[in-house]
Amino acid sequence: MAQNYFFINRSVFGSDTSLGPEKPYSNFEAWLWLIAHARWRDNCEVERGQIKTHYRSLATAWGWTLGKTQRYLQRLVADTRIETNSETKSITLTICNYDKYQAGSNETDTISDTISDTFKRQYYSVRQN
CA 24: distance to chain centroid?
19
Q: Using CA atoms, how far apart are residues 108 and 101, in angstroms rounded to an integer?
A: 12
> Sign of the C-alpha dihedral, residues 91, 92, 97, 98?
positive
Q: With H, G, I as helix, E, B as strand and everything else as coil, classify residue 12.
A: helix
Q: What's the confidence (pLDDT) of residue 128?
A: 53
Q: What's the confidence (pLDDT) of residue 48?
A: 93
Q: What's the confidence (pLDDT) of residue 102?
A: 81
Q: What's the confidence (pLDDT) of residue 109?
A: 46
Would strands 50-53 and 82-86 be described as parallel, antiparallel, or unpaired? unpaired
> Is the separation of the CB atoms in 57 and 66 below 8 Å?
no
Q: What's the confidence (pLDDT) of residue 80?
A: 97
Which DSSP letter does residue 104 get?
-
Positions in the chain whose pLDDT score sits under 50: 1, 107-112, 114-115, 122-123, 129
Helix (H) or strand (E) holding 94: strand 91-95
Helix ranges (H only) for 1-129 are 27-37, 55-62, 66-78, 98-101, 105-128
Q: What's the confidence (pLDDT) of residue 19?
A: 57
Q: What is the pTM of this model?
A: 0.73
Q: Using CA atoms, how far apart are residues 50 and 73, in angstroms rounded to an integer?
A: 14
Domain positions in the chain: 10-96, 103-129
CATH of domain 10-96: 1.10.10.10
